[in-house]
Structure formats: structure tokens, C-alpha cells
């Protein structure tokens, strides 16, 4: 794999709790993940990205980190993590892990030391303690300040169990430099930076103006970039949410992050004009910076694409979640197949969230008493939250736990998933899994990093060519459209009608 592997990589996101359970306790772990590495190699991905695998009380699915230099015992051990990295590398798969720099767990050694040390202590200067609370609101709902027994208040932009670090403190900078070295020294190839734009706080600003995209945050990542360049080909990927492409682009300057998630594309409705605009804006933002775009359809925080594309409103907005809104899953399935070919044909890197390749829908009917996302209680039990896209994967068999493990999964799996297991789809030439395998194989030879050239088409059709000569057409209109002259059909997301491309269908031509 070339040294710039990340520029055109297909990266598979693993949510460890829900990927594969190796010890039968109903929770995914490193043993399960290691056993499924051949599946990922066969799928054809270049890298795997893991959401946090550190020791955590799991108040927010692992994003409340208690120790950045160890592994959550539920998942395994540090030795197992090192074996996983080595085994992934043997299969030609790079490893990317999460780092969460905005906050820690309230169970971390630093925060417990701060509580014990009391007001005015050096330990409390690592966090934001105040004698009076501010008026900021938590991103998860409710106030962003919580009082401790001695009367002071601490800041948490997310759950109360996630106290925010004070990034004006040099100790915080040094701590994270040490954490980055710890994992780079163990062979990790990349770091995905959680909530990358909210580290620096200005308490004179409003909510969220006082903590979003403060100028000093870029100094943090310049320091990280210098550190990464001491190693061979290590990368940073930012979780940066901005509708403003100019602000987004600042994080991709040559001395900051290597790439960042393209949430604008993820949030787009299934609409030709909106998608074309997103693609054009993305390319216009990235090309001058020399940074490769990324294309993302879903992740562990977003309603699954099969369900989303089957709704009347197919866009996505974190601030206006539509959990439980009815969806035409047959329509969403057809559109998600077309969207997969679109995303994989575009220049740059592509992310695949676990289960996307199986065509899994969102699970909207999880009983309230079984939900574990803090959004659920923090919203007064009005927002179901993200559990519906985190249900454990179905691997094999005709009933739960579908080969996920031998114990009862931590979230219930729908009985109807017996038709969506990896085993059931492996030999089905028309399955979503087969489509992904075939597309990823073609992508390795013909696609990845580069540019695109738009072709003349009707407004409802996206049509472009790549340097390899591959042409991608996606029909988002209500009527079939004529295929352009071509020698062969490489792959189609659904059956063609002679020389016509049906609605909600994509095709790759050569």
C-alpha cells in the first residue's frame, strides 16, 4: 500500500460493543474483532477505525474515557490490542483509533484528584471549575455545569460524567502529546479526533459561540501535526461539523489535520441538486489545500442510511433528530445501494459504518428500559438517541444472537435480521454485501484519490467520469434515463432496463 494510503482509502468503522462478541457476555470485544479480521480483509477495506476502546464507565458509549493508555476490560487487554494491530497489518489493514481531547470521564485519575484537591488547586486547573455556574447548555440536553460537594461547578459540554479539559493548561497539552506517542509507538496508523472543534472555550461568548471553532484550537492541531511527522505516515482525521466550508477548510491546512469527515455529504437529502452542490463544494474546498475529500453515509451517531433514505425527509440534522419517523425500507434499501456506488466512485476516501454493507435498517422499537444512550434520560425520555444504529451485528443463523456471540446481546436484535446476516448474504449475488465487495474490488483498481469530470446530464442525474475512464451515473429522477455510449457495465446498484437506468439506481460504466 502506498505511503499516502489514506488519500483514497476505504475505511471501515467498528463500534466495538456491537461488532462481535468473543467471550459470550453479550458485548463486543477484541477477541470477536480479531476473529472477524478475515471478513474485513475479504470485504476489501484498506483500514479499520475503532471508536473508543479505553477503560470507561460507558456513560456515553466509551466517549467518557477513564484512562487513555489502556483497554476497557470488557473489550480485552492492552496485549490483545497490540495483537489486533499486528494481525490487521498482516492482512494489509491499517488501524485508526479515536482520541477524545475535549473531555475525560469523571472517574479518571485526574478528575478524581481534582475533586479531592479542592478549590484553587493545580489539579482543578486541568478542568473548568467555577464558583458560579454559567448558562451554557449541554449538547446532550440540560445544563452544561454540575455542582460538586464543596460547592464549585464544573463544565461538561456533553454528559455530567464527561468533564471538559482546560486547554489553556500546558499540562493538558503535554498529556495528549504523550497519549499520541503511546499509540503511535504501538503501530496505530491514524487518530480520529472526536469533537475536534470544541476544545477551546471563551466564556464571554454565547452558547455555542463560546466553545465552537475558537481560533486557538488550530494551535492544538498544529502541535499534533508536528508530532505525527516524527513518525512514518501517521494521520489525523477530524470530526468537524460546519455548514460553512471556509471554516471547515481551516482544519485541513497543510500544518493541521490530514482529512476530516464530510458531514455535509452525509446530511444531504436524496436529491440530485443538493448532492451535486455538496460534491462540488467539497471538491472546491479540498483541491486548493491538497487534502483528499472523505465521503460518509452514516456512522454510530446517525440514523442508518436505509431508514433515512426511506423517509419523506431524507436529510439529516443532529439538532432535529427524527427518531421513529416511518420509513419505506424497500425504497431506502434501493437508494442506499445507489448511494454506496456514488460515494465509492467519488475522489478521496470513503467510510463504511459497520452493518452498512449488510443493508441494516435503524432499529426504532428498542424498549425504553433497554436503551443506554444518555440522550434518552437527559432529554426527559423524549429523544430515543443513537442506540438504534448501534444494535449488534448479525453474522449467521436464523435467530438472535445471529452469531454475534453466545450470550444475549447488550441491545436486542430484530428477528427479521435473519435475512440480513453476513452468512445469508455471502452467497447471494444480489445482496448488499456482494455489492459492497464487488464495488470495493473495482474501486481498488480504478478509483480512490484524484479528481472528477462532470458530464452533461438532466438535472435529476449525477454523471461524472474518473481518470481511469470509469463513468458513474446516478438517477435520482422519477423516470428511467438513457445510458451514455459505453463498452461495458462494470456494476449496477439494481437491474438495468435494457439501455436505460431506472430511478434510484446507480451504474459504473467503462
All structural domains of the chain with their residue ranges: 10-102+171-440, 109-155, 451-509
Quote the pLDDT of residue 3.
Answer: 61
CB 459 within 8 A of CB 470: no
- Tell me the pairing of strands 294-296 and 349-353: parallel
CB 133 within 8 A of CB 153: yes
Per-residue pLDDT of the chain (510 residues; tens, 9 = 90+): 346 899 999 999 999 999 999 999 999 999 999 999 999 999 999 999 999 999 999 998 899 999 999 999 999 999 999 999 999 999 999 999 999 999 999 999 999 999 999 999 999 999 999 999 999 999 988 899 999 999 999 999 999 999 999 999 999 999 999 999 999 999 999 999 999 999 999 999 999 999 999 999 999 999 999 999 999 999 999 998 887 888 888 999 999 999 998 888 999 999 999 999 999 999 999 999 999 999 999 999 999 999 999 999 999 987 777 788 899 999 999 999 999 999 999 999 999 999 999 999 999 999 999 998 888 887 888 888 899 999 999 999 999 999 999 999 999 999 999 999 999 999 999 999 999 999 999 999 999 999 999 999 999 999 999 999 999 999 999 999 999 999 999 999 999 999 999 999 999 999
- Domain at 451-509: CATH code: 2.60.40.1180
For the whole model, what pTM was predicted? Answer: 0.95
3-state SS of 176-207 is HHHHHHHHHCCCCCEEEECCCCCCCCCCCCCC
Q: Is 68 exposed, middle or buried (0-12, 13-18, 19+ CB in 10 A)?
A: buried
Q: Residue 50: which residues within 8 A CB-CB, separation 6 or more?
A: 13, 14, 16, 33, 95, 96, 97, 98
State how far the alpha carbon of 342 is from the alpha carbons of 13, 16, 276, in Å. 19, 27, 11
- Domain at 10-102+171-440: CATH code: 3.20.20.80
State how far the alpha carbon of 200 is from the alpha carbons of 128, 244, 344, in Å. 11, 19, 35
**Active site includes 194?**
yes
Is the backbone of residue 165 left (phi > 0), alpha (psi -120 to 50) or beta?
A: beta
CATH topology of domain 109-155: Oligo-1,6-glucosidase; domain 2 (3.90.400)
C-alpha to C-alpha distance for 195 and 398, rounded to whole angstroms: 39
Quote the pLDDT of residue 220.
Answer: 98
CA–chain centroid gap for 107, Å, is 25
Partners of 475 in the β-ladder: 461, 505
- Tell me the pairing of strands 145-147 and 153-155: antiparallel
C-alpha to C-alpha distance for 156 and 145, rounded to whole angstroms: 6
Closest CA to 93 of 185, 19, 183, 189: 189
Quote the pLDDT of residue 1.
Answer: 37
Q: How many CA atoms lie within 13 A of 196 on its CB side?
A: 28
* Fold match flag (10-102+171-440 vs 109-155): no
Quote the pLDDT of residue 2.
Answer: 46
Q: Residue 2: which residues within 8 A CB-CB, separation 6 or more?
A: none
Set of cell numbers at residue 390:
448501534
Set of cell numbers at residue 71:
483497554
The catalytic position among 204, 230, 232, 487 is 230
State how far the alpha carbon of 311 is from the alpha carbons of 302, 314, 326, 362, in Å. 14, 6, 6, 12
Q: Residue 217: which residues within 8 A CB-CB, separation 6 or more?
A: 167, 196, 197, 198, 199, 200
CB 298 within 8 A of CB 358: no
Give the three-class secondary structure for 274. Answer: helix
**What does residue 462 show for φ and ψ, rounded to 5 degrees?**
-95, 125
The catalytic position among 72, 194, 264, 504 is 194
State how far the alpha carbon of 162 is from the alpha carbons of 53, 61, 64, 157, in Å. 16, 12, 6, 8
Quote the pLDDT of residue 375.
Answer: 83
C-alpha to C-alpha distance for 260 and 257, rounded to whole angstroms: 7
Amino acid at each position: 500500500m502506498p505511503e499516502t494510503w489514506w488519500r483514497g482509502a476505504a475505511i471501515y468503522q467498528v463500534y466495538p460493543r456491537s461488532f462481535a462478541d468473543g467471550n459470550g457476555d453479550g458485548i463486543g470485544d477484541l477477541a470477536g474483532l480479531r476473529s472477524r479480521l478475515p471478513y474485513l480483509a475479504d470485504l476489501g477495506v484498506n483500514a479499520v477505525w475503532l471508536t473508543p476502546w479505553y477503560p470507561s464507565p460507558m456513560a456515553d458509549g466509551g466517549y467518557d474515557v477513564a484512562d487513555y493508555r489502556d483497554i476497557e476490560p470488557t473489550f480485552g487487554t492492552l496485549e490483545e490490542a497490540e495483537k489486533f494491530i499486528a494481525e490487521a497489518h498482516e492482512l494489509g489493514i491499517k488501524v485508526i483509533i479515536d482520541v477524545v481531547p475535549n473531555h475525560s470521564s469523571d472517574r479518571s485519575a485526574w478528575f478524581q484528584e481534582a475533586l479531592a484537591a479542592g478549590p484553587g488547586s493545580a489539579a482543578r486547573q486541568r478542568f473548568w471549575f467555577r464558583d458560579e455556574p454559567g448558562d451554557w447548555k449541554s449538547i446532550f440536553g440540560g445544563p452544561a455545569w454540575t455542582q460538586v460537594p464543596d460547592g464549585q461547578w464544573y463544565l461538561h459540554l456533553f454528559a455530567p460524567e464527561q468533564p471538559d479539559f482546560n486547554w489553556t493548561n500546558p499540562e493538558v497539552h503535554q498529556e495528549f502529546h504523550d497519549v499520541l506517542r503511546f499509540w503511535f509507538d504501538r503501530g496505530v496508523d491514524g487518530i480520529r479526533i472526536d469533537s475536534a472543534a470544541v476544545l477551546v472555550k471563551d466564556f464571554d461568548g454565547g452558547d455555542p459561540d463560546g466553545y465552537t471553532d475558537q481560533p486557538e484550537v488550530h494551535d492544538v492541531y498544529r502541535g499534533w501535526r508536528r508530532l505525527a511527522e516524527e513518525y512514518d505516515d501517521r494521520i489525523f482525521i477530524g470530526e468537524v461539523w460546519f455548514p460553512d466550508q471556509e471554516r471547515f477548510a481551516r482544519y485541513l491546512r497543510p500544518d493541521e489535520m490530514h482529512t476530516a469527515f464530510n458531514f455535509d455529504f452525509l446530511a444531504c437529502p436524496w436529491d440530485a441538486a443538493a448532492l451535486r452542490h455538496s460534491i462540488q463544494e467539497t471538491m472546491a474546498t479540498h483541491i486548493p489545500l491538497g487534502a483528499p475529500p472523505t465521503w460518509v453515509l452514516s456512522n454510530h451517531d446517525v440514523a442508518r442510511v436505509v431508514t433515512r433514505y426511506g423517509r419523506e425527509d431524507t436529510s439529516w440534522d443532529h439538532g432535529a433528530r427524527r427518531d421513529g419517523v416511518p420509513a419505506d425500507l424497500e425504497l431506502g434499501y434501493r437508494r442506499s445501494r445507489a448511494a454506496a456506488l456514488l460515494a465509492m466512485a467519488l475522489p478521496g476516501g470513503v467510510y463504511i459504518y459497520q452493518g452498512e454493507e449488510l443493508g441494516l435498517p435503524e432499529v426504532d422499537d428498542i424498549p425504553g428500559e433497554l436503551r443506554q444512550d444518555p440522550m434518552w434520560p437527559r432529554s426527559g425520555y423524549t429523544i430515543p438517541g443513537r442506540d438504534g444504529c448501534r444494535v449488534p451485528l448479525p453474522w449467521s443463523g436464523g435467530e438472535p444472537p445471529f452469531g454475534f456471540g453466545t450470550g444475549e446481546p447488550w441491545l436486542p436484535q430484530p428477528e427479521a435480521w435473519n435475512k440480513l446476516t453476513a452468512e445469508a448474504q455471502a452467497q447471494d449475488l444480489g445482496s448488499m454485501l456482494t455489492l459492497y465487495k464487488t464495488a470495493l474490488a473495482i474501486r481498488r483498481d480504478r478509483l480512490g484519490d484524484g479528481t472528477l469530470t462532470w458530464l452533461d446530464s438532466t438535472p435529476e442525474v449525477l454523471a461524472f467520469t474518473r481518470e481511469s475512464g470509469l463513468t458513474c451515473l446516478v438517477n435520482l429522477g422519477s423516470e428511467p434515463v438513457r445510458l451514455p455510449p459505453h463498452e461495458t457495465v462494470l456494476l449496477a446498484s439494481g437491474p438495468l432496463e435494457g439501455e436505460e437506468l431506472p430511478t434510484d439506481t446507480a451504474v459504473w460504466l467503462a
